[in-house]
Amino acid sequence: QVQLVQSGAEVKKPGASVRVSCKASEYTFTRYAMHWLRQSPGQRLEWMGWINAGNGNTKYSQKFRGRVTITRDTSASTAYMELSSLRSEDTAVYYCARDIVGEILGGVIDAFDLWGQGTMVTVSS
- Interface contacts to another protein, rule CB under 8 A: 44-47, 59, 61-63, 95, 97, 100, 106-113, 115-118
Q: CB nearer to another protein: give 13 or 44.
A: 44
Q: CB nearer to another protein: give 12 or 59.
A: 59
Minimum CB–partner distance for residue 15 and another protein (Å) = 26
Minimum CB–partner distance for residue 25 and another protein (Å) = 15
Minimum CB–partner distance for residue 1 and another protein (Å) = 12
The neighbour count for residue 2, using CB atoms within 10 Å, is 10
